[in-house]
Amino acid sequence: MKIGVYPGTFDPITHGHTDIIRRSLRLFDKVIVAVAAPSPSKHPLFDLTERVEMVRLVTKDLARVEVAAFDGLLVQYVKQCGAQAVIRGLRAISDFEYEFQMALLNRKLDDTIETVFLMPSEEYSYLTSSIIKEVARLEGPVTDFLHPEVATRLCQRLRRQSP
């Protein structure tokens, strides 16, 4: 069985993320969406449990997708899952340098795990969770970018945080 792990913070999960998950299912028998615990460099708006819930909600109709939280070294988690590859989305050239460095580091840590880069559909190539959070903070419409329930949760969370 070919298993791929798609890691990320998914804060929140966007249509761009979902597009990569669907594309991954063309290549893998099973895709594990690995929701990362907060790291010192990231301060997610939603806690880990909320992010896992939202990813499960968005992927509930995708039978070969499993959602799990993870913490620690990615290559160790991938190995623990019995997966062969890390799945990463590349939106633009600016993503490439960072993702390339991470792929090479992961290969150095465990050369049995491959990294597969997928491009999103053109309509999602500009989406980032950060941009969508900024639109929501400024009370702009986000329903074109997020599952309706995720959009509702995002808007509610930002309203609670506003002065």
Give me the active site residues, please. 17, 42, 91, 129
Cα 155–Cα 160–Cα 163 angle in degrees, nearest 5: 115
Q: How many CB atoms lie within 10 A of CB 114?
A: 15
* DSSP designation for 88: E
Cα 22–Cα 101–Cα 81 angle in degrees, nearest 5: 50
Give exposure, 37-68, as e/b (b: 16+ Cβ within 10 Å).
Answer: eeeeeeebbbebebbbbbbbebbeebeebbbe
Three-state DSSP class for 116? strand
Give exposure, 74-89, as e/b (b: 16+ Cβ within 10 Å).
Answer: bbebbbebebbbbbbb
